[in-house]
């Protein structure tokens, strides 16, 4: 019997991980790495539940973001998202500086819109992924004409696990991940 209990205990983390993977991310991780020999490395995990609870504490009057235009655009925006989902992985927009190597790219990659910005003259690189599921959830939550910070946090709960923003500024790096 004891081995069975041990097996159950051993299996628990995997079962938990599986349920997390199925139900979406639970934690936002901000990873800041400063350049230089004495640069700090900060990793700040923020459970989404805590972020939602904090968002709920903000005064309702101040927190509501009116999105009447978004409400009006709902069906069209949903149709556009459906079209985006159907597209193969493809680069949609590219703006490239002739001199200096500056580059902006917007592409569809998997189930996300990916934006990449590179400015070599300032040693800056930005890479951001906007999961379509997050936009769909925001649209759903904007059906009544406004959004609050809790809606935004909840929408990120629909995102796939992984890095969705990476910024490199010289030797400094910031990564925001969802786990």
Partner 1 sequence: MRRSLNSLAARAIIVAGLLFPAGEVRGEDNSWIQREDDPWIHIQVVETGADAANVQVHLPLSMVRLALDMAPDEAILDGHVRIENSDISVAEMRRLWTELKAAGEADFVTVEKAKETVRIGRRGQRLLIRVTDSTAGKEHVAVDVPLAIVDVLLAGDGERLNVAGAIATLGAYRGEVLNVQDGQDRVRIWVDEKSGSE
- Give the separation between CA 41 and CA 75, rounded to whole angstroms: 44
For 105, the enclosing helix (H) or strand (E) is strand 103-109
Q: Does 144 bind partner 1 (CB under 8 A)?
A: no
Cβ proximity of 107 and 90 under 8 Å: yes
| Least distance from partner 1 to the Cβ atom of residue 62, Å | 23
Among 3, 13, 93, 144, binds partner 1 (CB under 8 A): 93
Where on the phi/psi map is residue 101: left (φ > 0), alpha (ψ -120 to 50), or beta? Answer: left
Q: Does 124 bind partner 1 (CB under 8 A)?
A: no
Q: Does 99 bind partner 1 (CB under 8 A)?
A: yes
Cβ proximity of 126 and 166 under 8 Å: yes
Joined together, the tokens standing for residue 52 give 């939602």
Q: Does 65 bind partner 1 (CB under 8 A)?
A: no
Q: Does 84 bind partner 1 (CB under 8 A)?
A: yes
Nearer to partner 1, 20 or 81 (CB): 81
| Least distance from partner 1 to the Cβ atom of residue 96, Å | 5
Joined together, the tokens standing for residue 136 give 């769909």
Applying CB under 8 A, the residues found at the interface with partner 1 are 69-70, 72-77, 79-80, 83-84, 86-88, 90-99, 102, 106
């Amino acid at each position: 019997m004891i081995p069975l209990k041990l097996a159950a205990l051993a299996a628990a983390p995997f079962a938990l991980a599986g349920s997390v993977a199925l139900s979406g991310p639970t934690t936002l991780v901000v990873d800041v790495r400063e350049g230089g020999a004495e640069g700090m490395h900060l990793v700040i995990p923020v459970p989404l539940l805590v972020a939602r609870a904090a968002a709920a504490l903000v005064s309702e009057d101040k927190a509501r973001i009116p999105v009447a235009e978004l409400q009006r655009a709902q069906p069209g925006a949903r149709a556009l998202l459906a079209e985006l989902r159907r597209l193969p992985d493809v680069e949609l927009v590219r703006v490239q500086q002739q001199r200096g190597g500056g580059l902006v790219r917007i592409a569809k990659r998997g189930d996300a819109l990916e934006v990449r910005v590179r400015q070599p003259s300032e040693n800056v690189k930005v890479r951001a992924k906007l999961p379509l599921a997050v936009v769909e959830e925001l649209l759903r939550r904007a059906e009544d004409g406004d959004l609050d910070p809790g809606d935004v946090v909840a929408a990120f709960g629909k995102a796939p696990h992984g890095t969705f923003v990476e910024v490199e500024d010289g030797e400094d790096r910031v990564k925001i991940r969802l786990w």
